[in-house]
Chain A
Amino acid sequence: MDNFAVLLTIFVLAIFVGFEVITKVSPILHTPLMSGSNAISGITLIGAILSAGSQKTTLTMILGLAAVIFATINVVGGFVVTHRMLRKFRRKEE
């Protein structure tokens, strides 16, 4: 298989996994699920790191730096705020 077919296969399968994993989500958790998954979408940080560290041109490095800052806020802020929210969810007499 060529590279594109491999990536496309991964993409399609991951979409199906996503649907299967999250179909039965408790309504109580709609917000934390959103902010937690939001943090995961900050995975683009990986790409940002590669751009910022490649040292090809000043412009690409600046774009990379901005991307690293944006994505890190997304990742760190997202996971921390989700954790903070989830700690508040408790059952009776716990």
Chain B
Amino acid sequence: MISPSIVNLIYLLSAILFIVGLKGLAHPKSAVKGNILGAVGMFLAVIVTLVDKQIISYDLIIIGILAGSVIGTVFALTIKMTAMPQMVGLFNGLGGGASLLVAGAVLLEAALLQSGHSLQFTIATALSGLIGAVTLTGSFIAFGKLQGIITEKPVRYKGEQLVKILLLLGAIFLSVLIVLNPYETIYYWILTGIAGLLGIFLVLAIGGADMPIVIALLNSYSGLAAAATGFVLGNSVLIIAGSLVGASGIILTKIMCKAMNRSLANVLFGGVGAIIEQADASDIYEGKVTSTSAEEVAMLLESARYVAIVPGYGMAVAHAQGMVRALSEDLEKKGVEVVFGIHPVAGRMPGHMNVLLAEENVPYDKLLELDIINPRFKDMDVVIVLGANDVVNPVAREENNPISGMPILNVDQAKTVIMIKRSLSPGFAGIANPLFAADNTLMFFGDGRAKMEELVKAYKEV
């Protein structure tokens, strides 16, 4: 059994590894190393905790670590890349749940021993329970939505904001009770119950297309819950690691909000601000929509030199990424330059499209972000938009509509735009897209995967 100062020094080493690891994770070349450094940091922290003299019995710990490792590894190795958003959500929830349980156990122990409570201890415990429970249930609802068990549509009802506000006030009230009566541990469990309900109602009200923001925010919360637990235990490595994750989650949340031109409050509480009625969709589309066939698109591609593919959530739903890769390879074989335009909020989690295309071995230097690809659309012969809608809707450049000011991919500037879509139905924002009726747009109606398959076949035959 080793001295506390050695334990703390090893914790410091772990903290440094987490910082260097996160820094590595932010850049493509160093990302694999960054992740491994993070894992090494965690391994060191766990080992040194195990040899710490506070541990009396190892049985449960070994059972727990073995069970958790097996479950975690099996999940991580067998999950399909297409199911990655819900996987991240699930792991996130478990982290929040663990923080909640630890703070609860420590509070129980303290109550049992009737040991002196500092204000810091009780406040941190209440925060751990509050944030941990919101993270746990919020992430599970997000998982349910992404897995298709719970409706993807925002669940809206009368008095919705009131319900959330009352739950939040209830949670704060219980937190105060915990601080005043730390030995009454029942308050803690009531608090986690109320906070759990709050997490459920918060995420239920959020629609599928806003999921990238929610997932990033919950990621931040799981870090903050761990940091709060660090205050409960007086443990520096929990505080450092937790606040690093909290900060990185907030940065991602901000990036996602910016990509939608919305405030976080607007996403969480929704429907704020008046929306002016848009012209009837049939007036916009009537007589102006041109539909096309695989043969026609193949001929267009045959004479093209510069092509972009813009994927959206529809590509993930249709599992069309393999066909997208096939087409891009065929195009390149004939000397056509192919790039991919990736909107930051395309899909259901930050970076969703990048993961799907990487899984298909599309090199990441072909995946261009908004600022890079936008000036290039005017030089492009053909842009294929696959299962994306709101992120290419030119209405975003106008005033007074739900997506006003949202940065979009300027695909309408290309010579020809091919929209692969099932129908003219609106995207998540619920508004018509004048791009469908534009002179340079051809609608290629049908299932994303089936249409891409036809296109690959037709292109081989031209």
Contacts and interface: CB of A to CB of B under 8 A. Distances in A.
B230 interface: yes
Interface string B333-375: 0000000001010000111101100110101111101000000
A27 B351 CA distance: 6
B284 to A, nearest CB: 32
Interface string B21-38: 111011110011011101
B64 to A, nearest CB: 3
A29 B99 CA distance: 27
Main secondary structure on A side of the interface with B: helix
Contacts of A68: 60-61, 64-65, 68, 98
Interface in A11-39: 11, 14-19, 21-39
B223 A37 contact: yes
B383 interface: no
Given A11-B239, A40-B241, A74-B91, A67 B222 contact: no
Nearest to A71: B98
B249 interface: yes
Nearest to A72: B68
A86 B32 contact: yes
Given A7-B234, A72-B67, A42 B95 contact: yes
Nearest to A39: B38
B64 A72 contact: yes
Interface in B240-273: 240-252, 255
A47 B18 contact: no
Contact of A31 (B19, B73, B238, B350): B350
A70 B98 contact: yes
B251 A23 contact: yes
Contacts of A46: 45-46, 49, 233, 235, 237-238
A72 B105 contact: no
Nearest to B23: A21
Contacts of B6: none
Nearest to A19: B247
B175 interface: no
A74 to B, nearest CB: 4
A15 to B, nearest CB: 5
Contact of A65 (B35, B60, B226, B363): B60
B101 to A, nearest CB: 4
A19 B251 contact: yes
Interface string B53-80: 0111110110111011101110111010
B406 interface: no
25 contacts: A3-B120, A11-B243, A14-B244, A17-B247, A19-B247, A21-B23, A22-B22, A22-B26, A22-B248, A34-B249, A40-B223, A41-B219, A44-B229, A46-B233, A49-B65, A53-B61, A67-B101, A71-B68, A73-B71, A76-B76, A79-B38, A81-B87, A83-B36, A87-B32, A88-B358
Interface of A: 3-4, 7, 10-11, 14-19, 21-57, 59-61, 63-94
Interface of B: 15, 18-19, 21-23, 25-28, 31-32, 34-36, 38-39, 41-42, 45-46, 49-50, 52, 54-58, 60-61, 63-65, 67-69, 71-73, 75-77, 79, 81, 84, 87-88, 91-92, 94-95, 97-99, 101-106, 108-109, 112-113, 118, 120, 215-216, 219, 222-223, 225-227, 229-252, 255, 342, 344, 349-352, 354-355, 358-359, 361, 363-367, 369
**7 tightest CB-CB pairs across the interface, nearest first?**
A72-B68, A18-B247, A30-B351, A68-B64, A77-B72, A30-B350, A76-B72
